[in-house]
Amino acid sequence: MRAFVFPGQGSQSVGMGVAIADASAAAREVFQEVDEALGESLSRLMAQGPADELMLTQNAQPAIMANAIATLRMLEKDGGVRLAAKADYVAGHSLGEYSALCAAGSFDLPVTARLLRLRGLAMQAAVPVGEGAMAALLGVDRDRADAIAGAAVDSIMAERGGAPLVCAVANDNDPTQVVISGHRVAIERAVALAKEMGAKRALLLPVSAPFHCSLMIDAAAAMEDALLDADIAAPQVPLFCNVDAVAIAERGAIRVALVAQVTGMVRWRETVLAMAAAGVTQVVEFGGKVLAPMVKRTVPDMEAISVVSPADVEALARAL
């Protein structure tokens, strides 16, 4: 069995999509359709930068989706491959769930682009710039990351009291990589405590908001309103969702999961284990080289392929 998977924020870079667009009219059509949906040339920003503008959450999210879907469309239209015939499941990391659902036919491309633009704006607006932060803890599992986050909050509260701080696991990526999110002061304390509590390394991430924690409650409300109005079709294949690491295909369940994932943890490690338990033996990542290594660190025997370049697409089409 096979799963097609789609990366999340952090996989963007200036120049993304250029090679795919040069090689495939189908890919160019994706970028044009996204530009028209957003009323601006996101494809030019992706191709030419500037990098700091591409890094903005409201740009990065639809850009990553567009790049992934363009890669998939090249496979489908130029390689003659149908997702429903070659994939048993889809999954995505955070915003990658929207890419996965677009790939599986639950959202059309313009709707996906507009939802991700709104999602990025809502996430940025939920917490004033400078108040939140995220950090990667390397060489620890989720239990150890929970302990580090708790110790950070406890130490600050013991020193100064005041309102409770948020410092929680945001992404359980694989057995050796966990991301925490919350108030900046608590995240910085966690980074300072991490090494003495068993982490190999801890580093603040260059993000503009504390994603996937309770501080995103206003963004979740905005997405709930938007998704109530969105036309969601049943996916061609089930989606393994972030918040529960279970396969879902019912439209109401998809809507609930997409709202919950704004404040909820991305359970990617558990998702990979659940896919393996369901019989998945091969994972194909479209538009990035982020998820495949996490898959291999979680289930070493699972085949994991990253499809980024036209040559990658052509090789996959021959193999499927």
**Enzyme catalytic residues:** 94, 212
Q: Pairing relation of β-strands 132-138 and 89-92?
A: unpaired
Helices (H), 136-183: 142-160
Decide: 73 and 11 in contact? Cβ < 8 Å: no
Q: What is the DSSP letter of 288?
A: -
Cβ–Cβ under 8 Å, residues 213 and 186: no
Q: Nearest-CA neighbor of 190 among 220, 213, 221? A: 213
Indicate the DSSP class of residue 289: S
CA distance 106 to 112: 9
CB 34 within 8 A of CB 46: no
Residue 205: burial class (beta carbons within 10 Å; 0-12, 13-18, 19+): middle
- Contact between 27 and 74 under an 8 Å Cβ cutoff? The reply is yes
10 Å Cβ neighbour count for 225? Answer: 13
CB-CB contact of 128 with 98 (8 Å):
no
Gap between the Cα atoms of 153 and 156, Å rounded: 5
Shortest CA distance to 259 belongs to which of 293, 295, 232, 292? Answer: 232
